[in-house]
Amino acid sequence: MSELTYLEAIRDGIREVMKEDERVFLIGEDIGLYGGSFGLTNGLFAEFGAERVRDTPISEAAIIGASAGAAVTGMRPILEIMFSDFTACGMDQLLNQAAKIRYMFGGKAKVPMVLRTASGGGAGFGPHHSQSWEAIFAHIPGLKVVMPSCPYDAKGLLISAVRDNNPVIFLEHKVLYKNKKYAQEVPEGIYTIPLGKAEVKRQGKDLSIVASSYMVQKSLEAAEELSKQGIDCEVVDLRTIRPLDIDTVMASVEKTGKLLCVEEACSFGSFMGEVITQVIEKGFDYLDAPPIRIAGKNCPVPYSYILEQEMIPNVDRIKDGILKVLGKN
Amino acid sequence: MSELTYLEAIRDGIREVMKEDERVFLIGEDIGLYGGSFGLTNGLFAEFGAERVRDTPISEAAIIGASAGAAVTGMRPILEIMFSDFTACGMDQLLNQAAKIRYMFGGKAKVPMVLRTASGGGAGFGPHHSQSWEAIFAHIPGLKVVMPSCPYDAKGLLISAVRDNNPVIFLEHKVLYKNKKYAQEVPEGIYTIPLGKAEVKRQGKDLSIVASSYMVQKSLEAAEELSKQGIDCEVVDLRTIRPLDIDTVMASVEKTGKLLCVEEACSFGSFMGEVITQVIEKGFDYLDAPPIRIAGKNCPVPYSYILEQEMIPNVDRIKDGILKVLGKN
Amino acid sequence: MKECTVRECTIIKEKLTDLKEYKVADRFKDLKKEQKVEMLKRMFQIRYFEMEVEQFILKGQIYGTCHLYIGEEANAVGAMNAIRKNDWIVSHHRGHGHCIAKEADLKLMMAELIGKGNGYCKGKGGSMHIADMDTYNLGANGIVGGGMGVAVGASLTNKLKKNDGVVIGFIGDASTNNGIFHESLNLASVWDLPLIFYCENNQYGMSTPIIKSTRIKRISDRKASYNVKGVTIDGNNIVDVFNTVSHFAEVCRKGEGPVLIEALTYRQRGHSKHDSQVYRTKDEVEQWKEYDPIVRYREFLIESGIISEDEAKKIEEKAIEDIKAAAAFAEASPYPDLSELETDVYAD
Amino acid sequence: MKECTVRECTIIKEKLTDLKEYKVADRFKDLKKEQKVEMLKRMFQIRYFEMEVEQFILKGQIYGTCHLYIGEEANAVGAMNAIRKNDWIVSHHRGHGHCIAKEADLKLMMAELIGKGNGYCKGKGGSMHIADMDTYNLGANGIVGGGMGVAVGASLTNKLKKNDGVVIGFIGDASTNNGIFHESLNLASVWDLPLIFYCENNQYGMSTPIIKSTRIKRISDRKASYNVKGVTIDGNNIVDVFNTVSHFAEVCRKGEGPVLIEALTYRQRGHSKHDSQVYRTKDEVEQWKEYDPIVRYREFLIESGIISEDEAKKIEEKAIEDIKAAAAFAEASPYPDLSELETDVYAD
Ligand SMILES: Cc1ncc(C[n+]2csc(CCOP(=O)(O)OP(=O)(O)O)c2C)c(N)n1
Ligand SMILES: Cc1ncc(C[n+]2csc(CCOP(=O)(O)OP(=O)(O)O)c2C)c(N)n1
Ligand SMILES: [Mg+2]
Ligand SMILES: [Mg+2]
């Protein structure tokens, strides 16, 4: 057990699955000697060699396609797309091929691959390196989508994702990667967190906050701050958004009667629209106030720090949202 | 004024804008002599010549990128992507380039282009030719998304889309194309329907159905059938889903107190989740029953007729939905 | 065998016979008679399968669309006979021929085509998605070029597993203008993967002649961009196809792949179910028909004394029977159960 | 001018001087002195601009990342001087040099880089997105290869408007492995578009040497796939760059484009803000620095008597001043107004 950052925990998970299963290999741009754009794969090249840690040309479509092809013929690739925005360059291979192979083949094939990628803004990378595209991936049947919020979860979910027999989009938040503030005790060796299980990260009775990835951390902060004013928020970390653990969400909403969804993606057409819609369908009567979404503004993620911070939900906006759902402002 | 099919009306609109503005040109695969996969551009090659009706190689990314580049330097391309699923092959050029150029350039450029494409299932084309991806397009700031439901609207919206100064995704429903049942009197010459204005296609007081494209037709049918049982549905045709005319939706919901959303896309993470979420945010108190979504099932669009019909909402499912919202089943 | 002596096909201005510049050993002559006969049988099966599909089209039983392989049979059959049963292939939208040549079950294919529940994909895929893991066929594809990345991945599996398998990715001429072609072949080149991209240059992508969608004389010239081996051959001559693929399969197995083969051929029918064929003349089609790959191979086998006229007839009749049986099976098969709609989306 | 006589750079095994096989007219010698001087000034501006950016990085004022052009200046300045002011260019992530060479306002660039509201993109784009419609610069790009399609479109506009404009799409070596390169150049070829893809082969894509991401000897060999003209040149020799681009710009204006130019060059700094440069030796960097494009051009101008030592010094000093002024302007500028966040998403 040692204190690891999010990035270190993911690396640790990768190392574990590579040791346990020789079908697992890594493929991506500059992931070898260089260790990846964020240094996440540092050391893996030295440990596992060039056959299993494969640097590629800048060819996102071929990387994704080759992973799908390797997966369907018996391997278990973990591919890195440097920034999630770049999946756009390989979208056909992802949405039309990898996601659909099993269904199109009448269930006679499986495509066990994990697409790891750095998602989200808040690091000043501008419009092409900061988007949150979970709504796009989660809309496609055949894909699973994982969004870990902390090191412990990240490692356990990564291991589950690699053992899963489906294409899994593993969205890592680049702001969490090296942030010591969120470092955690992470067990050594293998442990798993099931895909499709949300976790209540904070118990509370006044209101349910549903979030994933970095927004869980910000929501916890907001909850903590408001607890000083006697407001007791529950924070549900979805962890996996597809499959979506709507039961855990409903149980929380049933208890609190109030729902705030927090996400970083542009609000229009966002994933939390799905969560709210399902909650409404299933639990209209539980709710004693309209649910609210705190989300990214409806523009590309701008470069300038001051604009970017305004675009992405922060603790203050979340607190405002909480108060609004509670009818306190 | 003559009776035109949906496809003929769109062709007519294209011809009108090509006559009115010489900056308008067409670009796409097999759109010239061949007239496009559905014959929509038939005759335009003969009329306007090879310079303005440009056949391309099978290169969706380059087609979209070249359109964006032509648009930003002063032209007004209408590009055809044969099936909307193929946009995946050019997704970067669409979502990262065309959609964001204006914002990234600090508002100093505009990108007036229309991406026309055949969307939706119901024609037996299988998993790669039948998807409804409006949720993906509509989530991206910078894009407008149009989904006409009938010939009259299609022509007027097409003309508006071409005159618009932004990249517009124009989703044509392939089942509507040649269906004589939906042919309409369509005025000759130029007329426009504003982007971002919904239309109440049927007045009613018991329940609001919100739909777009082909689902408007099916919803109207369902409404008609149930009217015999004294159920009076209002049908709101969104026409444009981004910008979304939430005011017209709200006005209807305020009147009826009940909402049914109908869409063909896979329900999970669908666009109607956005509509429901906005309605809930803005009009929680108007609603006296939980809104319901009738949508595509959560699987790829299968080939076999019987499965495909089961996957896509039909009139019966819509009727069930209506009754359910009304608490009648 | 009748040579294409005067052919001025849409893409090349020289004669097909001029393609002989690239010499490979004649391994065909060493084949057992059974295999030579088997090859003719498969070609007939493909031809009659597709003709039966045309009947289903006329009867309105093919929903959506489908793409016929008539006229291109030498490619699938020649190539498949040059590799092993457990070598993976990846096909494309015009995939029936590859499927049959890889020894798929004709009944299950036909059932899939008319949307039956016991078809290869349980009716979920249809013509453009038939795959058969049992015969190492990674499937047709509705996206032009869509299978290329998958082909790279399959050959990467071979390399990682250190077996000597080879993968054939069948691709169309027009698909080589899609970005995925470039990325795939480059990646395969950098990693020396055992992959053959076998390009069936049937002169058109839908209505667009290849000479209008690219400015190069031969598609195999694109080998220069990846520093891989490549060649253009007569794809209506099954002996050439067999010998060339045999040769390059060995090259790949030795770790000297990938390879780009361009085979000149012609589709005798329209692009898909609906095609008025305004983009070509009847005359052009007729000229190519003179070089029909089945007629040529049949004549060749007889002329070289390998089979008799009579045997040839029997082979053909047997193929017709096989197809009739497949069609009957398909028609008699049940439609999918609605409960199957949402299965197979995820694996456990 | 000092020639790269012994250079064994990462990608080519022959000497850079061997690149002379492709002869173009020496138009440089006919230029007015002012323009020759102007070229030196721009190179210095780029160099000092980037060095100033390094200072901002050290001070923590560059948010996110940015990519410096130091060592590659001859390419942008040579190319831009060979085309007209109203010829469009498209740049890439390492775009400051192109921007400056196209005569963008240094102040507005610097302001953008440190996220100020009066920067070129109002702070919305940052280093990877600076564009300037006024100087016909269609912008840097955060997506490797992302601008290539746009470049095709801009040259299509020229063709449709029947003007004789030419477009330069600047691209990196590693970007040529992306599918969009293939589709764009093929489409430009089919339509004879007036487009130059100018590939700055600085030997690496991030940490990956180009020899590991493709197996070809020269990137310009990829011209074969599109039947276009192409050549490899010494990209650290501004005279070569100028003469080659001048020549091919004419070719394009006559309707005989597109063209693929590969220019061998080297980035003297790390890939981006953070780069430990484990993938190359200090020695390699030092060797390339001996062929610094600014040192070479400066010496050349002096040796051939076009300017004096003294003039050279003044030019350099003036460039430094310009940059200092730009930096001061940027620092004094206000941050964006929050009300600007959601503007500019849509045009009216
Ligand atoms: C990405 C994509 N673009 C367009 C299409 C439509 N389409 C289907 S087949 C075809 C022509 C393909 O030509 P080629 O690769 O030469 O194969 P052929 O049909 O001639 O066998 C086209 C344009 C598609 N299915 N996928
Ligand atoms: C599609 C895409 N993939 C990966 C990246 C990350 N990335 C940014 S620059 C770069 C290297 C580009 O190399 P090259 O084209 O040679 O340009 P250079 O940086 O050497 O100037 C990479 C991999 C990106 N921005 N976009
Ligand atoms: Mg073809
Ligand atoms: Mg480079």
How does pLDDT run across D281-313, given as a tens digit for each residue? 998 899 899 899 999 999 999 999 999 999 999
Both A68 and A176 in one domain: the answer is yes
CA closest to C128 among chain A residues: A104
How big is chain A, counted in residues? 329
Give residue C339's identity as a one-letter amino acid code: S
Q: Does D117 touch chain B (CB under 8 A)?
A: no
pLDDT at C15: 52
Closest to A88 (Cβ–Cβ): which among B86, B92, B273?
B92
Q: Are B299 and C345 in contact (CB under 8 A)?
A: yes
Statement to judge: residues A220 and A176 lie in one domain:
no
> What's the pLDDT tens digit per position in B244-273?
999 999 999 999 999 999 999 999 999 999
pLDDT tens, position by position, B149-186: 999 999 999 999 999 999 999 999 999 999 999 999 99
pLDDT of amino acid C103: 98
Q: Computed from CA positions of residues C278, C282, C283, C285, in that sequence, does the dihedral angle turn out positive or negative?
A: positive
3-state secondary structure chain B: CEEECHHHHHHHHHHHHHHHCCCEEEEECCCCCCCCCCCCCCCHHHHHHHHHEEECCCCHHHHHHHHHHHHHCCCEEEEEEEEHHHHHHHHHHHHHHHCCHHHHCCCCCCCCEEEEEEECCCCCCCCCCCCCCHHHHHCCCCCEEECCCCHHHHHHHHHHHHHCCCEEEEEEECCCCCCHHHCEEECCCCCCCCCCCCEEEECCCCEEEEECCHHHHHHHHHHHHHHCCCCCEEEEECCEEECCCHHHHHHHHHHHCCEEEEEEEECCCCCHHHHHHHHHHHHCCCCCCCCEEEEECCCCCCCCHHHHHHHCCCHHHHHHHHHHHCCCC
C11 touching B, CB under 8 A? Answer: no
Q: Do C183 and A69 touch (CB under 8 A)?
A: no
Which residue among A136, A162, A186 closes a domain?
A: A186
Same domain, A162 and A233: no
Quote the pLDDT of residue D16: 56
Note whether B259 contacts A: Cβ–Cβ < 8 A: no
Structure tokens at B306: 């019987």
Kindly state the tokens that stand for B200.
């109440």
pLDDT digits (tens, 9 = 90+) for D18-47: 565 578 999 999 999 999 999 999 999 999
> Quick one: which of B126, B78, B95 has its CA closest to B300?
B126
Rounded to the nearest angstrom, the minimum Cα separation between C276 and chain B is: 9
A179/A215 same-domain check: no
**Whether complex ipTM tops 0.95:** yes
Query: How many structural domains compose chain A?
Result: 2
Grouping H, G, I as helix, E, B as strand and the rest as coil, residue B202 is strand
Name the percent of chain C lying above pLDDT 90.
90
Mutation for D interface: A29, A45, A307, A308, most D CBs within 10 A: A307
CA of C189 to the centre of ligand 4 (A): 19
Count CB atoms within 10 A of the CB of residue C44: 24
* B184 to chain D, closest Cα gap in Å: 31
Q: Does D90 touch chain B (CB under 8 A)?
A: yes
Q: Is C174 in Cβ contact with B57 (below 8 Å)?
A: yes
Task: Pick the residue from chain C with its C-alpha nearest to B127.
Answer: C125
Q: Give A46-84 pLDDT, tens digit per residue.
A: 999 999 999 999 999 999 999 999 999 999 999 999 999
- A115 with A232, same domain: the answer is no
Beta-bridge partner residues of A80: A28, A116
pLDDT tens-digit readout, A235-279: 999 999 999 999 999 999 999 999 999 999 999 999 999 999 999
Six token digits for residue A183: 């470092």
In the predicted structure, residue D4 carries a pLDDT above the cut 50: no
- Listed residues B158, B186, B214: the one ending a domain: B186
At position C241, the amino acid (one-letter code) is: V
Based on the fold, state whether residues B317 and B236 are members of the same structural domain. yes
Are both B210 and B258 inside the same structural domain? yes
Calculate how far, in angstroms, residue C285's C-alpha sits from the geometric centre of ligand 1.
Answer: 20
Note whether D208 contacts A124, CB cutoff 8 Å: no
To test the pocket of ligand 1, the residue of C144, C264, C269 to mutate (highest count of ligand atoms within 8 Å of its CB) is: C144
Give the best residue of C110, C121, C127, C144 to mutate against chain B (max B CB count within 10 A): C144
Question: Ligand 1 center to residue C174 CA distance, Å?
Answer: 7
* Same domain for A225 and A141: no
> Ligand 2 — pocket residues by CB below 6 A?
A 29, 58, 60, 82, 86, 89; D 67, 93-94, 142-144, 172-175, 202, 204-206, 271
Tell me the mean pLDDT in the region A126-154.
Answer: 98
CATH of the domain at A268: 3.40.50.920
Q: Does the beta carbon of B57 lie under 8 angstroms from any beta carbon of chain C?
A: yes
| Domain match, B305 and B279 both | yes
Of D183, D215, D217, the CB nearest to C179: D183
| pLDDT value, residue C230 | 95
Q: Is A128 a catalytic residue?
A: no
Indicate the pairing of strand D259-264 with strand B24-28.
Answer: unpaired
* Nearest CB to B92 within list D146, D187, D344: D146
Q: Tell me the shortest Cα–Cα distance from A128 to chain B, in angstroms.
A: 7
Q: Which of A186, A212, A247 corresponds to the end of one domain?
A: A186
Q: Nearest CB to D215: which of C189, C213, C214?
A: C189
Cα D66 to averaged position of ligand 2 atoms, centre (Å): 12
Q: What is the dihedral of CA D277, D282, D287, D293, to 10 degrees?
A: 50
Q: Is C28 left (phi over 0), alpha (psi -120 to 50) or beta?
A: alpha
Read off the amino acid at residue B248: T
Chain A: residue whose CA lies nearest to D115 = A304
Ligand 1: residues within 6 Å at CB? B 29, 58, 60, 82, 86, 89; C 67, 93-94, 142-144, 172-175, 202, 204-206, 271
Q: Is residue A150 part of a domain?
A: yes
Same domain, B168 and B66: yes
| Cβ contact C100:C50 at 8 Å | no
C-alpha B296: how far from chain center: 16
Residues A91 and A136 placed together within one structural domain of the fold = yes
- Full residue range of the structural domain in which residue A235 is found: 199-325
| Domain presence at residue B192 | no
**Residue A288 sits in the same domain as residue A244:** yes
Domains and CATH numbers, chain C: 4-270+289-332 (3.40.50.970)
pLDDT digits (tens, 9 = 90+) for C141-164: 999 999 999 999 999 999 999 999
Cα of D120 to nearest chain B Cα, Å: 7
Whether residue A191 is contained in a domain is answered as no
The DSSP bridge pattern shows strands D259-264 and B167-173 to be: unpaired
